[in-house]
Amino acid sequence: MMSVTLRSLGRLAIAAAISLCLGGAHAYAEDANPTTNVTIDNFTFAPAELTVKVGTTVTWTNHDDIPHTVVSAGKFRSKTLDTDNSFSFTFTAAGDYKYFCSLHPHMTGMIKVE
Amino acid sequence: MSDHDHHEDKPGVSRRKVLECMTWAGTGVLWTISGGVPRSLGLVDSALAAEPAGLTFLQISDSHVGFDKPANPNALGTLEEAINRVKAIPVKPSFMIHTGDISHLSKAAEFDDADRIISQAKLDVHYVPGEHDFLDEEVKFYKERYGKGAKGAGWYSFDANGVHFIGLVNVVDLKAGGLGNLGAEQLAWLEDDLKGKSTSTPIVVFAHIPLWTVYPQWGWGTEDGARALDYLKGFGSVTVLNGHIHQVMQKVEGNVTFHTARSTAFPQPAPGTAPSPGPMKVEDSKLRTLLGVASINFKPGDQRLAIIDTPLQG
């Protein structure tokens, strides 16, 4: 058991070293469908700014007792998200995607896609 | 035995309760004498019980029918309590205005439930929408139910007892980072609507989000509200009635009185006193002291309309 664990740790270390050598892009390319999350708490998107690679799926989840939306003009628009509802969008092109809640427009955020 | 224990544990409670009851009874008796109407029948206080002259109408707001979270698991129930209060007013008001967020999620069933309760007041109701009333997929329920004959997203005006009423919509087409929004089309309509009106005409403007800037950090204000107020500058008496912030706030600026009403569903925190403007959970026993309705009385000749806010309890 122990030796297996150690061996896999070793393999991981080597993989990590290779990734480091080849740069971050290689590490992302290995994961075909990266995903990441944005939470909505207290009328705030967190993190407010997020950098992801092309192909990443971002999922927003509303934890407030009040509905919110996630809207990026001309790019994407969620349905109304009631408490604990989620919305996902896959970013297939690089760029800065500013978005906001169309019900509470002081709530803003940005996804930077590289 | 248990009675005895109770007194031992909390010697002050029952005595305070008795005193509260006495105060209440005393007030009731007093008002019966001064107003001629028992308090239990009255919505508010002697001001209303003493048969007002002129025009009296009511404002209810933010009923959020469908809301069932901890801040108030039964928003329909508290709306019904508010309407029961309205039904018990000794002098029947001329009509009621509802300053938006009738429903919580714009579901047909929520609007149905709201109508079923509000119609029990047997009063004409003039609505303006809140942002929670435009959440259905096709954004059609509000317009179909309340917006017939209105312009744009639901703005309109009407006259009653020499007072000009203007219902505005500031919850659509909101811009990222901004506040409530009236938009160019509505502002042009407003300017036109006021054209030719005598400046002595009392004006009542009602809309969901406050037309003046209450607290921009929470979006409590209207981006182009100042432009609407510009058109109203020359008028001797302007009253602006809003909802959205679920608490009473009042401000007087020149001839303009700004006022926000309580919600019938749940309270929200005072500006900046909480991490967000979300529903405020209070002790069950306190909830009804923070919900309520407003009664507005206009006496011809008076510059300002008298606004009385009444909590559901206390």
Pick from A48, A23, A64, A30: nearest CA to B280: A64
Taking CA–CA distances from A82, the nearest residue in chain B reads: B105
Give the pLDDT of residue B314: 79
Residues A23 and A35 in one domain: no
Of residues B292 and B44, more confidently modeled: B292
Taking CA–CA distances from B280, the nearest residue in chain A reads: A65
Residues A21 and A54 in one domain: no
- Token pair, residue B148, equals 């017939």
Chain segment A9-33, per-residue pLDDT in tens: 445 444 444 444 444 444 444 567 8
Give the pLDDT of residue A25: 44
Pick from B268, B230, B114, B167: nearest CA to A104: B268
Q: Does the structure show a pLDDT above 50 at B136?
A: yes
Position B17 confidence tier, pLDDT thresholds 50, 70, 90 = very low
Give the pLDDT of residue A33: 86
Report the relative pairing of strands B292-298 and B55-60 from DSSP bridges. antiparallel
Give the pLDDT of residue A32: 74
Residues A48 and A96 in one domain: yes
Taking CA–CA distances from B173, the nearest residue in chain A reads: A102
Residues A104 and A58 in one domain: yes
Give the pLDDT of residue B299: 86
Q: Does the structure show a pLDDT above 70 at B101?
A: yes
Are the C-beta atoms of B213 and B220 separated by less than 8 Å?
Answer: yes
- Report the percent of chain B where pLDDT is more than 90: 79
Q: Which of B69, B106, B177 sits opposite A105 (nearest CB)?
A: B177
**Is B178's CB within 8 Å of A105's CB?**
yes
Chain segment B160-175, per-residue pLDDT in tens: 999 999 999 999 999 9
Give the pLDDT of residue A30: 52
Residues A21 and A2 in one domain: yes
Q: Does the structure show a pLDDT above 50 at B19?
A: no
Residues A39 and A84 in one domain: yes
The mean per-residue pLDDT over the stretch B89-93 comes to 90
Contacts of B218 in chain A (CB under 8 A): 43, 106
Residue A88 maps to which CATH number?
2.60.40.420
A66 touches chain B (CB under 8 A): yes
Give the pLDDT of residue A8: 52
The mean per-residue pLDDT over the stretch B68-86 comes to 97
A98 CA: distance to closest CA in chain B (Å): 9
Interface predicted TM-score (ipTM): 0.81
**Is A108's CB within 8 Å of B174's CB?**
no
Give the pLDDT of residue B160: 95
CA distances to A99, B118, B162 from B125, in Å: 37, 8, 18
Residues A102 and A57 in one domain: yes
Give the pLDDT of residue B107: 98
Cα–Cα dist B178/B197, whole Å: 32
Are the C-beta atoms of B260 and B210 separated by less than 8 Å?
Answer: yes
Fold of B45-311: Purple Acid Phosphatase; chain A, domain 2 (3.60.21)
The mean per-residue pLDDT over the stretch B191-213 comes to 97
Q: Does the structure show a pLDDT above 80 at B33?
A: no
Cα–Cα dist A31/A53, whole Å: 11
Contacts of A104 in chain B (CB under 8 A): 131, 219
- Token pair, residue B162, equals 């020499």
Q: Does the structure show a pLDDT above 90 at B238?
A: yes
Give the pLDDT of residue B304: 84
**Is B175's CB within 8 Å of A79's CB?**
no
Q: Does the structure show a pLDDT above 90 at B15?
A: no
Q: ∠ CA(B131), CA(B136), CA(B141), 5° rounding?
A: 90
Give the pLDDT of residue B259: 96
**Is A108's CB within 8 Å of B176's CB?**
yes
Are the C-beta atoms of A52 and A111 separated by less than 8 Å?
Answer: yes
Q: Does the structure show a pLDDT above 80 at B269?
A: yes
Q: Does the structure show a pLDDT above 90 at B179?
A: yes
Q: Does the structure show a pLDDT above 50 at B195?
A: yes
Contacts of B174 in chain A (CB under 8 A): 102-103, 105
Helices and strands of chain A, counted as H and E runs? 2, 9
Q: How many domains are contained in chain A?
A: 2
- For chain B, which residues make up each domain, given as ranges? 1-41, 45-311
Position B309 confidence tier, pLDDT thresholds 50, 70, 90 = very high
Q: What is the average pLDDT score of chain B?
A: 86
A42 touches chain B (CB under 8 A): yes
Residues A49 and A91 in one domain: yes
Cα B110 to chain centroid, rounded = 19
CA distances to B68, B207, B227 from B238, in Å: 36, 14, 14
Taking CA–CA distances from B69, the nearest residue in chain A reads: A65
Residues A35 and A91 in one domain: yes
Ranges of residues in chain A with a pLDDT under 70 are 1-31
A57 touches chain B (CB under 8 A): no
Q: Which of B70, B179, B276 sits opposite A42 (nearest CB)?
A: B276
Give the pLDDT of residue B38: 28
Domain limits at A87?
31-113
Give the pLDDT of residue B2: 39
Position B77 confidence tier, pLDDT thresholds 50, 70, 90 = very high
Cα–Cα dist A37/A59, whole Å: 5
Residues A57 and A92 in one domain: yes
Residues A85 and A105 in one domain: yes
Q: Does the structure show a pLDDT above 70 at B153?
A: yes
Long-range pairs of B34-40 with CB within 8 A, sequence gap ≥ 24: B37/B90, B40/B88
Residues A13 and A52 in one domain: no
- Report the percent of chain B where pLDDT is more than 70: 83
